[in-house]
Amino acid sequence: MKKIKIIKNIGCILGIVISMGLMANTGLAGKFPTKPIRVIVPTGPGGSTDVTSRLVASVVHQYLGQPMIVMLKGGAAGTIGMAATMAEKADGYTLVFGTGNHTSIVPHVRKVTYDSLNDFIPVFKVNNDPYLIISRSDRFKNFKQLIDEMKANPGKISFGSNGLYGNGHSMILKIELDAKVKFKHVPFKGGGPAIRSMLGGHVDTAGGLFASAGTLGRYKNGSVNILGIAAEKRDKLAPDVPTFREQGVDFVYQLWRGFMAKKGTPQDRIDIIVDALSKTMKDKTFLRLMKAVGSPPNPLHGKEFKNMILAEHKQFGAIFKQVGVTKK
């Protein structure tokens, strides 16, 4: 009941602030932006990327002078939305709100009509969440127990992922390479269904985020164990959980969510968007909304954002090359 009330409260707050956004000041004549900015989200409705984009849009109008209008264009692992952005003018009035999955994973395993590294300008990262490997608390106590059992029973321990060559599948490919083990991979249509299947005992382990299917709450009440976290350092939400690097697996992956623009977008317009988003990240209403969904802002922009994407793209390229994945 408490969770339902929180969701309803967030919905009410969003309704109010979005209405305010539609009445936002249109700005000075001739000064960018003079009309609403469309934000293409290359995912389905209700997921963390969709929710985060709408939370940003509900507040940023106060600093941008125009509303951001979220448009969902999911399908084909995000390639439809990314391609749709490329079909628009490079004028700053159309942005894409994507993730590392769209820039650093999908281009290695699918034939796409764009260059994710050179056809888009990384504008602003809003937040990120580390990827986790999870099990029921009565199944595995820690990562060592998981690996020991996998070595004793090659290919028998199952892992539920959010899809073929998605975030979770990519994670276990790296675990398999470094720990010299083999999972029984079971892809699902999303991280939530994978975790629920794990909770029901249908798969042994699953991949996800702290916010996936109530993982953080279940970890705190002892019903699930987080066996490893794909972060540079331990997370304050679960400080007792070792990183993968601490456990012999060289894998770091934070599922980031952020804005990108089509190559050729004027830098002065990007600067205006960055300034408005930077102010949004400090806004009390926005911080309260992000806290409610369990994913505080962790902003990054400019060269730092670009370099993060380049390193991430290189990491996944090496993983897929080692396991012999080819584009389809």
**Confidence band of 30 (pLDDT split at 50, 70, 90):** low
112 and 145 co-located in one domain: no
103 and 142 co-located in one domain: no
Q: Which of 201, 219, 247 is the last residue of a domain?
A: 247
177 and 100 co-located in one domain: no
209 and 310 co-located in one domain: no
233 and 140 co-located in one domain: yes
The answer to whether residue 213 is domain-embedded is yes
Label each residue of the chain as H, E or C: CHHHHHHHHHHHHHHHHHHHHHCCCCCCCCCCCCCCEEEEECCCCCCHHHHHHHHHHHHHHHHHCCCEEEEECCCHHHHHHHHHHHCCCCCCCEEEEEEHHHHHHHHHHCCCCCCCCCCEEEEEEEEEEECEEEEECCCCCCHHHHHHHHHHCCCCCEEEECCCCCHHHHHHHHHHHHHCCCCEEEECCCHHHHHHHHHCCCCCEEEECCCHHHHHHHHHCCCEEEEEECCCCCCCCCCCCCECHHHCCCCCCEEEEEEEEECCCCHHHHHHHHHHHHHHCCCHHHHHHHHHCCCCCCCEEHHHHHHHHHHHHHHHHHHHHHHCCCCC
222 and 116 co-located in one domain: no
18 and 123 co-located in one domain: yes
Q: Which of 247, 267, 301 is the last residue of a domain?
A: 247
Which domain, by its residues, includes 305? 2-128+256-323
The answer to whether residue 79 is domain-embedded is yes
**Residue 131 scores a pLDDT above 70:** yes
pLDDT at 63: 98
**Residue 256 scores a pLDDT above 50:** yes
The answer to whether residue 292 is domain-embedded is yes
Radius of gyration of the CA atoms of the chain, in A: 20
The tens digit of pLDDT for each residue in 49-88 reads 999 999 999 999 999 999 999 999 998 889 999 999 999 9
CA distance 212 to 195: 8
Whether 174 contacts 245, CB under 8 Å:
no
Please, what is the average pLDDT of the chain? 91
Domain count along the chain: 2
267 and 303 co-located in one domain: yes
Q: How many CB atoms lie within 10 A of CB 90?
A: 17
Q: What average pLDDT score do residues 158-178 get?
A: 94
Return the higher-pLDDT residue of 105 and 46.
Answer: 105
9 and 124 co-located in one domain: yes
Percentage of residues of the chain with pLDDT beyond 90: 78
Give exposure, 172-185, as e/b (b: 16+ Cβ within 10 Å): bbbbbbebebbbbb
pLDDT at 192: 84
**Which CATH number belongs to the domain containing residue 292 in this structure?**
3.40.190.150
pTM score of the predicted model: 0.83
Q: Which of 193, 213, 247 is the last residue of a domain?
A: 247
Return the higher-pLDDT residue of 297 and 294.
Answer: 297
The answer to whether residue 276 is domain-embedded is yes
The answer to whether residue 33 is domain-embedded is yes
215 and 268 co-located in one domain: no
Q: How many CB atoms lie within 10 A of CB 153?
A: 12
**Which CATH number belongs to the domain containing residue 161 in this structure?**
3.40.190.10
Instruction: Name residue 96's amino acid.
Output: V
Percentage of residues of the chain with pLDDT beyond 70: 91
φ, ψ (nearest 5 deg) of residue 235: -95, 140
pLDDT at 11: 56
The answer to whether residue 120 is domain-embedded is yes
The answer to whether residue 328 is domain-embedded is no
The answer to whether residue 261 is domain-embedded is yes
8 and 117 co-located in one domain: yes
64 and 155 co-located in one domain: no
